[in-house]
Amino acid sequence: MKILFIGDIVGAPGREAVKKLLPGLKKEFALDFAIANAENAAGGSGVTLKVVEELFAAGLDVLTSGDHIWKKKEIFEFINGEGRLLRPLNFPTGAPGRGWGLFKAKNTPVGVINVNGRVFMEALDCPFRTSRQAQEELSEDAKIIIVDIHAEATSEKVALGWYLDGKVSAVLGTHTHIQTADEKILPNGTAYITDVGMTGAYDSVIGRRVEDVLERFLTAVPVRFEVAEGNVQLHAVVLDIEENSGKARSIIRIQKKL
């Protein structure tokens, strides 16, 4: 089973990269399933129904998210009705939407779990215990389980990789928007990377206009961050997973220029 996971899609340039590059990636890697983190897909922060529909139409099967999921108000109108869009599962009870789901690729069940870190981030429920719980429920129906750990601290992501090693097919980091070079298969068969990277403009500060972010750093005054446009790239990983065991055979990093 070949699964693509695309790192945080930032704004219109990121969506354009997905639309233009995904068909080629599907052919090149004989992909069976495609997941992307979409938390920054609408104007650089949050998602709208239109953007979500656009990304599914582009060929993505499941969208994950993160701390920016609630930024566009209309999310509350549609997230309960769209099971293919996940929000971090460790928001406290009562938050709308779902943090994990069971899907199908080539008639094979695929579980996807989305969880936020809480080091240098909002204090949510425990990402370790909640993702283990979701894994246990999904494991009743699926061998293949992909986890998006949306977190700031590398240590927290690395630790979750070890915690879920052998229990899920992959633990993939998002949120920091910088692809890390530590992709590996852990001893018990779980693919791991600390950050998949970003899909958007790379002449930027993690997808936003350099001038805006610099002004914020230089003055510490709130500044509106516009989405940057130059040097658009799609960053992702391709997983090859053994279907009977759910163990990963390989994880390959991808960086494609638009």
Distance in angstroms (rounded) separating the CA atoms of residues 174 and 155: 13
**Measuring CA to CA, which residue among 257, 238, 239 is closest to residue 248?**
239
**Cβ 10 to Fe ion, closest distance in Å?**
7
Which CB atom, from 144 or from 196, has the smaller least distance to Fe ion? 196
Given the residues 68, 175, 177, 235, the one annotated as active site? 68
SS3 30: coil
The single-letter code of the amino acid at 178 is: I
Is residue 177 flagged as an active site residue? no
Task: Report which secondary-structure segment, H or E, holds 217.
Answer: helix 210-219
Among residues 189, 102, 195, the alpha carbon closest in space to that of 148 is found at: 195
Q: List contacts with Fe ion (CB under 5 A).
A: 8, 39-40, 66-67, 175
Q: How far is the CB of 196 from Fe ion (least distance, A)?
A: 11
Amino acid 195 reads: D
**Matching residue, tokens 């099967």:** 61
Nearer to Fe ion, 2 or 87 (CB): 87
Nearer Cβ to Fe ion (68/167): 68
Choice between 2 and 179, CB closer to Fe ion: 179
Give the position of tokens 């406290």: 92
Query: Quick one: which of 222, 227, 225, 157 has its CA closest to 194?
Result: 157
Helix pair 49-57, 11-29: axis angle to 10 deg: 20
**Nearest approach, Cβ of 224 to Fe ion (angstroms)?**
17
Alpha-carbon distance of 119 to 153, in angstroms, equals 6
Least distance (Å) from Fe ion to the CB of residue 121? Answer: 8
Nearer to Fe ion, 8 or 54 (CB): 8
- What is the residue whose two structure tokens read 């129906």? 141
Q: Which residues are the active-site residues?
A: 68
